[in-house]
A and B are shown apart, each in its own frame.
Chain A
Amino acid sequence: MDLARTIKYEEELDQQFAERIASEPGGEGIWNCIQCGTCSAICPVSIYMDKTPRRIIGLIRAGFKEEVLASISPWICTSCYSCTVECPAKIKITDIMFVVKRMAMQQKSHRRFIIADIEEEFVKMVRKNGRLTESKMGIKVARKAGIGNLLSMVPLAWNLMRHDRLKLFHTERMTNVDELRTILRAMEAGPRVTLPAKPPVIPTGHHQEVTA
């Protein structure tokens, strides 16, 4: 009988991982988490996640890097911001999900989820045309989701075309895409801007004490 061994010794955990997440804007909140579970409870899709948002934060803090980056949870996140709004510790959980997604994307060795592929296609199309053409995007998505998916979308596509909502051969494109590309390249060039977790405090001379 093959049994999984789920202990992780301290040297197998990665405390740098927690620090890295905590150092991104919004990430510093992970230290305030009291594991109350409100985020998981209000999340409309947590029941589909392999690890609920609360558990993800717990795993990040403890340094379970592999588990977090391999989890499907951040990819299921729809960025509805309900968790961020409900969290009693005001932790920016949605932003943390984005941080994890970005890190997982960069670690190409990880199991790829279809959403990651879709998002990369999105980026490619924007870089190419400056805008998205929904019909073309729809086809790319359906192709990634499998031939069955693609075929099942045909009736809908036909229905939308009949209602003058879909122009099959039209590409939504900016006029001056080169300008956009110049800007994007300039943004990518040079040393990467890493933002501190807490924005710099701009002194306003405002007193905070409450006295008689």
Chain B
Amino acid sequence: MTVEKPRIGVYICDCGLNILGVVDVPAVVRYAATFDNVVAAKEYKYMCSDPGQDLIKKDIKELKLNRVVVASCTPTLHERTFRTTVSTAGLNPFLFHMVNIREAVSWVTVDKKRATEKAKILVKAGVMRVTLQEPLEPKTEPVAPGILVIGGGIAGIHASLALANAGTKVHLVEREPSIGGNMARFDKTFPTLDCSSCILTPKMTTLKVHPNINLYSYSEVVGVEGYVGNFDVTIERKPRYVNEELCIGCLKCIEACVFKDARFPNDFDLGLAKRKPIYIPFPQAVPTKVLIDPDDCLFLKLGKCKQTCVDACEKDAIDFEQKPERVNLKVGSIIVATGFKTFDPTRKPQYGYGVLPNVFTALEAERLLSPTGPTEGIPLLKDGTMPKTIGIIHCIGSRDENTNVYCSKVCCMYSLKLAHLVKERTGAEVYNFYIDMRTTGKGYEEFYKKLLEEGVRFVRGRVAELTTAPLSPGEKGKLIVRVEDTLAGYVRRIPVDMAILSVGLEPQNDAQELRRMLNLSCGKEGFLMELHPKLAPVSTATDGIYIAGACQGPKDIPDTVAQAGAAASEALALVHRGMVEIEPYVAVTNEDLCSGCQICVGLCPYFAIEYDAEKKVSRVKDVMCKGCGVCVAACPSGAIDQKHFRDAFVLAEVAGVI
């Protein structure tokens, strides 16, 4: 508490017409001038501008102000600005208070008289509060030097490399046995038709050998505690039943396995190909280490097997005793890059996925087109023959009030790409059924033009259903697409041999679980929420945690990589500074009033309160306190107060309103 008499300066902003257009600012100024201890009450067009700030600074010096109130927009926007202004002029920034008369008054009140009244009341309350405020010093805390990246798809890989190249230690956690994510499954990428693996695997191998990157593959983040600059992360490493240090990826064990034929669905090929119980997800997997599925392996399931794999392994790397392992890390910031999953077309039975023959999702089509896929790059029908007609159906699950309302952004482009590739490989007649053609990126419209010239048939109409019930001789044995060709103005029935469903993008199945662990928000559709849709696309409302790529919303590879770089740079800023400034809103115990009941100790989510058994009082550990206020509210003796939010301040503000 200061000893001098308060000398308060009150500044009311017009904010152009944002506030002045509704609130009678001069009247509020005149009213403010009548309060006790107010030495200056002024109006200015844009308080946050340089001249506006200079006005405050000048008054602090000349009028010897020791308290400042600015009534303008929301503190979320400019509290920091004005605190800096005030401290530049030599006044402690916590002797400043901001009153919101824009978002809270002028932007939400229609009646001008009522708006002015409300503004007056709020300014009075603010002045009464600031009178009691005390100077505080901001807390700084050291930032732990490592960064955690969750998700090893292209976003996670790019972010990790960017950070590692800047000299930071990166811990990359990927739950699949290999990094690469969905991009590793694609055949070619649009619009350049680059081979997806060819552009991805160099990054994967660079990552593999980078000295600054610790890759935890086949692992999941199971717990995150702490706060910005100091996150305590628990990772669970799932057992491969193969010692990663010893395995050299020679694959002799797979050859030797007692199962002569592969018979278990391979996850990487989305079940279209089979593998043995001991396997590697795909040839270019990183790390190039084998793993064993405990549900398929005879020894792990039934306890009985010749263990020919063990015999074949020259490095003695197989270890059936392996258990899940927990690793604890301390990191300064976290980047979430967990990617997407595709819409499950069984939710739309009209398209016959899983019921009618030769209906594939776009991702399955990628595997069929991949040279390393189950059909070596030729999209064959289930019976092994070549399709003569293929229908690619856009907007499956997207732009639909019954499933997902949003447009998944990439499907038009990937549908065009698939059209090009299937036509190239099979020479079939290809139809694309679309509602709109969304080709907005660089080179995308040109790609569409190229497709138009390649003889792919475009029908503008949303497909209502696929059926195998023929109504004409030409339809027997085919999949029939029923659609209105809206451009020609006729309903058509088009028989195809194979249908490819352009499924939309959705958040991962466990996105909600993950985000709760990290205390992140999500939007209506479940994608992780950025701090600001325009100006802060990779940061979140939780300090120190950043998001990048499709987990934030459907997007293509260029945008994903851009976001990954952005997140890396923002995460790096924290670690680079080496310290983080934390607002000093810590709780403070009055040991005279404390009865030693310890209610606060158990309630503190940060374990920041300790009980002194000798003196029989509880005490807040400044360093750990995050200023959440739970203990302040819970204390039955009123012995805990919160700096900058002392009971006295809050009550004064309330008194001002009443």
Contact = CB atoms under 8 A, between A and B. Distances in A.
A15 B623 CA distance: 68
- Interface-centre pick from A37, A52, A88 (highest chain B CB count, 10 A): A37
B472 interface: no
A42 B483 CA distance: 8
Nearest to B459: A37
Contacts of B524: 210
- Chain B interface main SS type: loop
B522 A210 contact: yes
A54 B462 CA distance: 11
Contacts of B314: none
B484 A54 contact: yes
A86 interface: yes
B486 A37 contact: yes
Given A55-B489, A210-B521, A212-B515, A41 B482 contact: yes
A68 to B, nearest CB: 16
A86 B350 contact: yes
Nearest to A32: B401
B402 A212 contact: no
A35 B464 CA distance: 13
A47 interface: yes
B402 A52 contact: no
Contacts of A71: none
A202 B483 CA distance: 39
A174 interface: no
Nearest to A47: B491
A94 B483 CA distance: 19
A212 B484 contact: no
B482 A212 contact: no
A78 to B, nearest CB: 16
Nearest to B405: A88
B567 to A, nearest CB: 19
A126 to B, nearest CB: 35
A23 interface: no
B464 A42 contact: yes
Interface in B367-420: 395, 399-402
Given A89-B401, A212-B516, A41 B521 contact: no
6 contacts: A34-B436, A35-B486, A40-B486, A42-B464, A42-B482, A88-B402
Interface of A: 34-38, 40-43, 46-47, 52, 54-55, 86-90, 210-212
Given A34-B435, A42-B465, A52-B491, 12 more contacts: A36-B486, A37-B461, A37-B485, A40-B491, A41-B464, A41-B482, A41-B491, A54-B484, A86-B350, A88-B401, A90-B402, A212-B541
Q: Which 8 A-B pairs give the minimum distances between C-beta atoms?
A: A37-B484, A41-B464, A36-B462, A42-B464, A40-B484, A88-B400, A37-B461, A90-B401
